[in-house]
Amino acid sequence: MGRMESDCRIPMSCLRPRILALHALFWVLVSLRVFGAALLSEEKTTVARPVTTPCWQMEEFVVAVECSRCNTFQSKSWAACIQTGYVERINCTKSNKDEYKSCRSTLMEEHLFWKFEGAMLGLTILFALIVVARQRSLDRLASEKVRRQIESI
């Protein structure tokens, strides 16, 4: 009988304590970098926020003008346009103030949905091709192994 092959796909050299410690250290450093960047960006955004809270966050409001796309001037000058590129005018009921609130339009949502669907379809096709290529490669290796075994008889 020949040597039996293991089902284990992890090389034994990867299971050494030193290698495992290095992998753990690497992932700890990566995690610190990611969480540190998230914390730094959070701190920056809290400093840039205005002190006054919009009236629509504290009281009831009525939408005066439905969600519409911001023009070039609005996109650069209004804080509400920066987030999504769409804005709606609202009227706060208690204070009777008109303010602008960022919103998400159905057109934008539909566009994002189809972009996501297209990306998923593309990835499906890509991975299907990879699976087919890998299966053909494995079939070739298996038939080659069977051919060698038959020749050795």
Q: Please, are residues 87 and 102 in contact by the beta-carbon 8 Å criterion? A: yes
pLDDT, position 48: 53
pLDDT, position 114: 95
Please report which confidence band the pLDDT of residue 14 belongs to, taking 50, 70 and 90 as the band edges: low
For residue 123, the Cα-to-chain-centroid distance in whole angstroms is: 14
Mean pLDDT on 41-53: 57
Instruction: State the Cα–Cα distance between residues 76 and 70, nearest whole angstrom.
Output: 9
pTM above 0.85, yes or no: no
- pLDDT of 119 above 70: yes
Q: How many CB atoms lie within 10 A of CB 25?
A: 10
Pick 115 or 10 by higher pLDDT: 115
pLDDT, position 2: 47
pLDDT, position 113: 94
Mean pLDDT on 144-149: 94
